[in-house]
Every structure is written in structure tokens, then in C-alpha cells.
Structure 1
Amino acid sequence: MLVLRPVELADLPQLQRLARESLVGVTSLPDDYEQLHEKIRQSCASFEKNVQSPGQENYFFVLEDPAEQRLLGCSEILATAGFNEPFYSLRNRPFTSASRELNIEHGVPTLSLCQDLSGHTLLRGFHIDKSLERTPHSELLSRARLLFIAAHTQRFAAAVITEIVGYSNDEGHSPFWDAIGKHFFDLPYVEAERLCGLESRSFLAELMPHYPLYVPMLPQAAQDCIGQIHPDGQEAFDILEREGFETNSYVDLFDAGPTLFARTLTIRSIVQSTSGLVRPGTCIDARGHYLVSNDSLKNYRAIVAELDYTAGQPVILDAAMCSALKATEGSEIRLIPL
């Protein structure tokens, strides 16, 4: 049974292995010992902190096979994007020009550097072992973060966003970066993303043009990248789209991947998850697969379980499930069907 739990300092060596395997563009998972150590330290402090409103906290989760003591994935929640430094995006909206004399009005799509999305909660760092792609454990790794938000709403903003990795080819070239960013930094796309993970996206973003970029003036290959998803990022997109997230007018400033947005209290796993009390026992007639979590903070746990559950009745969990969730008889848990 795989378990999602908060990261610990002992996870550092395995987390660095996951970082080496992660998709180019997942800048929140840098392959750097010191950076990952600091990220883990900050996450541990966030889980310990008494929070009444969202701030600079980041909550880092890992997906573990306890039997083999092996990490198979990770994901993260940043309570407030742009809390410590600007959170830059590209706003994709038309610029309208008009001439009364000629009776002409014309709209041209433009990309403008902005900080509009600062203040929202940010989902990031999603990475799962290839053997688990398109399985219920991908749902667990992504959606258990939403169950955590549901249990601790005061720690998060009224809206949630996530950036989906945009298109780059097998050699790591991004046509969008080549058309724009490469003119301001003599860096390939892969190196720019690596620096963002190690340092900060702000120092690169602040050197990007602050005036609108007219989309029709870009090469066609770059235009085609706007809002396009890297094939390896499609699953992350699909899971959150089913949760009620939608694309909006913002894209990533390096690869033009789409940004997903949802109001916190409209997200499926937050609104439709239910709470129940644990009754240890044996599931005689398990009828469905569920995501199940406890409502703890630093001892948060979540699993995929096959249950016979009736709303309003105790939730029967076997001994392995109780152990994985750190639950005993009468413990309150949260669940939602897969």
C-alpha cells in the first residue's frame, strides 16, 4: 500500500533521485542537494507552524512505498504565490486599436509581463514514477493535496492555481523560449529552467521585456506553443481539469505552458469530500475505490482504498489501512470516490 505523507529530512537522498528524473520545466524540484535540503526544512517548519491565514508556507508531500521504503513521487502546495518575491506570468489578452476616421477597429493578441496571480495558492512540484502514471496513485499524489486544503482551509487562499509545463522537444528546445527569452539571456531553455530552480525566477523575469509582445510578430512555431502542454504534463492537467480547474488568460513566461485556475470552494475534492469516523474491521463487500486521508497536520496521511462505504455510517478500515492513516477507532477521516 502506497502512502502520501509530509516530507522528512531523511527523504533527501531519494528526493534528489526524483529531481534528476523530473520533467524539464518543473523548476520547483531542483537537482541540487542544498536547495532540496532547504526546501525540506521549510516544509517541516510549515507543518509545525500555527497558521491562521496563508503566508509563505510550503507543504511538501512524498508518495512512499513503506514496505520497500522507496519514494515514488512528490507534490507540493505553496500557500501564497508571490509572498516573498514577485510571481511573474504572461497575460495573454488582445490589444485593441481603433481609427474613427477609417472606421476600423482591430484586436491583436499580446503577451504582457504581470504579477496578477500573486496571492493565490500554488500547486507545484508534481512528479510521479513512470510505472504509476495513469493509475489511481497519480490521483492520490495530486488530489490528496486538495483534501489537505479541505482540512486546513485557513492556511490557503481563496483561489488556487497551477502552471502546467509547456512544450519542448526531446532535445529540450522550446520554440517559445527561443523566440523570446533567448534574446535576453544567452541561455538555452533547459539551463534557464535549471537556474530558476536553483535561484529564483524573478531575476530572469525582471530582465524580460516589460512592454507587450505582439503575438502575430512571433515565429509560427512560438505562437503554436502558447497554451500548449508538454505530453508528459498532460496527466497533471487532466486530473486538475476534472477537479474543476480551468485555463485562463495566463501562461508561463518561459515556455508558455497554460495556467490552471479554480476558486478554492468550487474544487471537487474540497467541496464533495465527506468526513466519517473509523471503525476497524474487515471490508466484506468493498464496492468502490476512494481517496482517504486523515485531517492531521504534521501527521497527515492519505491512501487509495477499496471500501464498502455508506454516507453517514462509520468507515470500515482494515488494520493495514488504519496503520497507514495513523487512525484508530473513532478517528475522523476524509474520503472521496476516485
Structure 2
Amino acid sequence: MLVLRPVELTDLPQLQRLARESLVGVTSLPDDTERLRERILDSCASFDKDVHNQGPENYFFVLEDLPRQRLAGCSEILATAGFNEPFYSLRNRHFTSASRELNIEHGVPALSLCQDLNGHTLLRGFHIDAAFVGTPAAELLSRARLMFIAAHAPRFAEAVITEIVGYSDDEGQSPFWDALGKHFFDLPYPEAERLCGLESRTFLAELMPQYPIYVPMLPQAAQDCIGRIHPDGQEAFDILEREGFETNSYIDLFDGGPTLYARLAGIRSIAQSRTDTATISEDIDAHGRYLVSNDSLKEYRAIVADLDYNAGRPVALSAEMCTALNVTEGHQVRVVAL
């Protein structure tokens, strides 16, 4: 059985393995022991805090294969993008110029460095082992974060964003970076992303041009990357799109990947999840597959389960499911259809 839970310091060696295997562009999962240790300790402190409003907290989750005692993936929630340092992105909008004398009006798409997304809750750090791609485990890893938000809504913003990794080739080259960022930093794309993971994206972002970049002036290969998803990032995109997230006019600063946006009220796993009382049964006539979580904070757990569930009635769970969820008879659990 796979269970999603908060990260622990003992997970560090296995997180290093996940970091080595992660996609270039997942900067919140740096392949560096000390940075990962700091990330884990920061998450542990966030789960320990008794807060009742949105702040700088970062909630780091891991997906554990219980029988094998092996981590199969990880994902995060940053409660407030831009709380401790600016959250930069590129706004992709038309710039309109007009001439009254010639009676001409012309619109040109332009990219502008901005901090418009400061204050939103940010989903990041999604990585799953290749063996679980396309399985319910990927849904669990991504969507259980949203169920956590549903259970602890005061800790988060009214709107959630996420950046999907943009296109780069098999050698790790990004046409978008080569056409734009590389002119300001003599670094290949993988190295720029690595530095962002180790340090901060702010020091690179602040050296980017402060004036609009007219899209038609970029090479066609770079233009084609605007809003384009890396093939390995497609599943993360698809899961959240089914949740109600939509693309907007913002793209990633370095690779041009799309940004997804949704308000809490429109997110499926939040709006459609229900809480009911758990009851233990070893005779479950399952009629559907569900995501099930407890509503705990530090002891948060979530699994995929085949259930016979009707809203407003007790949720029949096996003893194994209850153990994985760290609940007993009578506890409240949160349920949403897979």
C-alpha cells in the first residue's frame, strides 16, 4: 500500500535518490544534501506551528511504499509564494501601439518580468518514480495535497498556482533559455535551474531585463516553447487540469513552461471532498476507487482505497487502511472519488 505523509528527517537518503532522478526544472528538489536537510527541517517546523492564517510555511510530503519501506515520490505546498522573497514570473500579454495619423493599431505579444503571483499558494516539487507514472499513485501524490488544503484552509490563500516544467530536449537544452536567459547569464539551462534549487531564483530573476521582451523578436524555437510542457511534466499538468486548474497569461521565467491557476472553491478535491466517520470492516463490497485522508496536521495521511461509499454514511475501511491512515473507529476521514 502507498501512503502520503509529511516528510521526516530519516527520509533524507531516499530524498537524495529522488532528487537525482527528478526532472530538470523541479528546482524545489535540489540534489544537495544540506539543502534537502534544510527543506525537511523547514517542513517539519511548518507542520509543528500552531498558525491560523496564511504565512511562509512549506509543507513537504512523501509517498511511501509501505511494504518496501521505499519512497516513491514527493510533492510540496508553499503556503505563500513571495512571502520571504519575490516570486518572479513572466507575464505574456499583448502590447498595443497605435497611430491616429495612419489609422493603424497593432498588438504585439510581449513578456514582462513581474511579481503578480505573490501571495498565492504554490504547489511545487512534484516527482514520482517512473514505475508509478500513469497510476492512481500519481493522483494520490498530487491531489492529496489539495485535500490537506481543504482540511486546513486558513493556512492557505484563496487561490492556488503551480508552474509546470517547460520544454527541454534530451540533452537538457532549453530553446527558451538559450534565446533569453542565457544572454544575461553565461550558464546552460540545467546549471541555472540547479543554482535556483541550491540558492534562490531571485538573484537570477533580478538580473533579467526589466523592460518588455517582444515575442516576435525571439527565435521561432523559443516562441514555440512558450507555454509548452516537457513530456515528463504532462501527467502533473493533466491531473491538475482535471482538478479545475487553468492556464493563464503567466509562464516560467527560465523555460517558458505554463502556470496553472485555480481558486479553492473551484478545485475538485476541495469542493467535492466530504468528511464522514470511519468504521472498520473486513467485508467491503467496493463500488468505486477513492482518495481517503485523515484531517490531521502533523500526522496527516492519505491513501487510495476501493470502497463502498455513500456521502453522509460511515466510511467502511479495512484494518490495513485504518493503520495506513493512522485512524481508528469513529475518527473523521475525508473522501473524494478518484
TM-score, length basis structure 1: 0.99
Partner residue in 2 for 1:196: 196
Looking at structure 1, the residues matched to 328 and 218 of structure 2 have their Cα atoms a distance apart, in angstroms, of 60
Query: Aligned residue for 1:70?
Result: 70
Contact 1:77 1:124 in 2 (8 A): yes
Q: Which blocks of at least 5 consecutive residues in structure 1 are unaligned?
A: none
Alpha-carbon separation, structure 1, partners of 2:113 and 2:53? 28
Residue in 2 aligned with 1:221? 221
1:291: Cα distance to partner? 0.2
**Hey, what does 1:277 align to over in structure 2?**
277
> Would you identify which runs of 4 or more consecutive aligned residues in structure 1 move more than 4 Å?
none
How far apart in 1 are the matches of 2:304 and 2:284?
17
Q: Secondary structure at the match of 1:131?
A: helix
Post-superposition CA distance 1:139-193 (Å, at most 9, x none): 0000000000000000000100000000000000000000010000000000000
Q: How does 1:3-82 map to 2 (within 5 A)?
A: 3-82=3-82
Helix, strand or coil at the partner of 2:224:
helix
1:176 aligns with 2:198: no
- Measured in 2, the distance between the counterparts of 1:183 and 1:258 equals 22
Q: Deviations over 1:291-334 (max 9, x none)?
A: 00000000000000000111211001011000000111100000
- Are 1:333 and 2:333 an aligned pair? yes
Matches within 5 A, 1:147-186: 147-186=147-186
After TM superposition, list the pairs within 5 Å mapping 1:307-322 onto structure 2: 307-322=307-322
Aligned twin of 1:90: 90
User: How many angstroms apart in 2 are the aligned matches of 1:317 and 1:268?
Assistant: 23
Structure 2 SS opposite 1:150: helix
- Aligned-partner Cα distance in 1 for 2:38–2:187: 26
Deviations 1:33-86 (A, max 9, x none): 000000000000000101111111000000001221100000000000000000
Quick one: percent identity of the two aligned structures?
78
Structure 2 residue runs of 5 or longer lacking an equivalent are none
Give the secondary-structure state (helix, strand or coil) at the position aligned to 1:225: coil
Q: What is the distance in 1 between the residues matched to 2:309 and 2:115? A: 45
Secondary structure of the residue aligned to 2:80 is coil
Measure the CA separation in 2 of the matches of 1:283 and 1:77: 36
Alignment partner of 2:193: what SS? helix
Give 1:302's aligned amino acid.
A
| SS in structure 2 at match of 1:42 | helix
1:257-281: CA deviations, max 9, x gaps? 0000001121110000011101111
The structural deviation recorded for 1:284 is 3.2
Q: So what's the TM-score if we normalise by structure 2?
A: 0.99
Distance 1:204 1:272 in 2: 40
What SS does structure 1 have at the residue aligned with 2:143?
helix
In angstroms, what is the RMSD of aligned CA positions?
Answer: 0.5
Q: Is the 8 A contact 2:284 2:317 kept in 1?
A: no
SS in structure 1 of the partner of residue 194 of structure 2: helix
When the two structures are aligned, how many residues end up with a matched partner?
A: 338
